[in-house]
Amino acid sequence: MAVSVDEAVSTGSVRDHTPPARRFGGRGRSVLEVALLTVLAVVMLFPVLWMIETSIKENRDVYAIPAKFFHFTVTLDHFKDVFAAPGGGRSDLSVAFLNSLLVAGASTVLATVLGVPAAWAYSRFAVKAKKDQLFFILSTRFMPPVVVVIPIFLMYRDVGLIDSKLGLILIYAAYNVPFTIWMMKGFVDEVPAEYEDAAMLDGYTRLQAFRRFTLPLLLPGIAATAVFALIFSWNEFVFAIFLTSSDGVRTAPPAIAGLIGGTTVDWGLVAAASLVFALPVLVFAYLVRKHLVAGVTLGAVRR
């Protein structure tokens, strides 16, 4: 007796043999992931939140036992002490912040101005032993600053660059140029060379073609590279403490570190200074956030 397909399918209800754990695994897994990410975010952000609280507490609340998380008196005196000296005028911390802005900004611009054309040249031209040269350029970043600070100190002493902002700008730029070349070369490789060839056919020189057509397309990569270079120059501590000695030249990292010592530490002032020190880089990264995201993801997909 022949049985049709429809009859065979409709003879009984089809039972779901999927295990319960498998049916509800997706939702349970999502809840578990959210819970774990929430715990991780709280653990990572707690030091930042505690620093913010410490910066706006009065000294008696800062040293209170047990610690006060919620019920404390809010004050902005610590932020005032960051910028103003007790006797009037600018404080040493405010001078150190201005020095950091000048040194980090100038070294980042110098590294970008030197590194971007070099990366373009390595990407576009056939250079003899290109891979060996690029490896040598990158190898200058293998050693941490503390390893080479003594030879650099001796060289700076002979040429008169000890305790000078120019000396810090040059050494920071020297450390950032290899990183800039390596990072920007990948971005330049993603820009088709045919754009420059077409521009040169229209009468532009090679440099004009690079400036008018290739350089605008590299803005996301330049922004991403500049952020990382600025972070290194802004946070650098070893060169800043070994190559400077006066308060008029010292940058913010050693100045903030100098607040910790002695019999008592004004943790409210330390927290306020740390927050003020973190703001410029955060603001700069926020302003270039669109280019930063595009620059980080540039080259993720092969052409």
Q: Phi-psi category of 26—alpha, beta or left, where left has phi over 0 and alpha has psi -120 to 50?
A: alpha
Distance CA 4, CA 24 (A): 36
Burial of 280 (0-12, 13-18, 19+ CB in 10 A): middle
pTM above 0.95, yes or no: no
CA proximity to 187, closest of 241, 223, 229, 154:
223
Contact 211, 196 (CB under 8 A): no
Distance CA 148, CA 218 (A): 33
Position 297 scores a pLDDT of: 59
**267: Cα separation from own chain's centroid:** 26
Q: Which two tokens stand for residue 272?
A: 């306020």
Cα angle value 229/231/233 (rounded, 5°): 70
Distance CA 287, CA 301 (A): 26
Position 107 scores a pLDDT of: 95
3-state secondary structure of 161: coil
**From 19-23, 134-138, 226-230, the region with the lowest mean pLDDT:** 19-23
Q: Which two tokens stand for residue 107?
A: 């070294």
For residue 134, pLDDT over 60 is answered with: yes
3-state secondary structure of 189: helix
For residue 250, pLDDT over 50 is answered with: yes
Higher pLDDT, 37 or 289: 37
CA distances from 182 to 5, 33, 112, 220 (A): 65, 36, 12, 15
Burial of 120 (0-12, 13-18, 19+ CB in 10 A): buried
Q: How many residues does the chain have?
A: 303
Rounded mean pLDDT of 70-97? 86
Give the tens place of pLDDT for each residue, 26-75: 677 788 888 899 999 988 988 888 888 889 888 888 888 888 888 888 88
Residue type present at position 216: P
For residue 110, pLDDT over 90 is answered with: yes
Domain spans in the chain, listed from the N-terminal domain onward: 92-297
Contact 78, 269 (CB under 8 A): yes
For residue 296, give every residue at least 6 positions away whose Cβ sits within 8 Å of its Cβ, in sequence order, or none. Answer: 224
Rounded mean pLDDT of 248-259? 90
Position 106 scores a pLDDT of: 95
Contact 143, 74 (CB under 8 A): no
Position 21 scores a pLDDT of: 47
CATH superfamily membership of 92-297: MetI-like (1.10.3720.10)
Rounded mean pLDDT of 5-12? 49
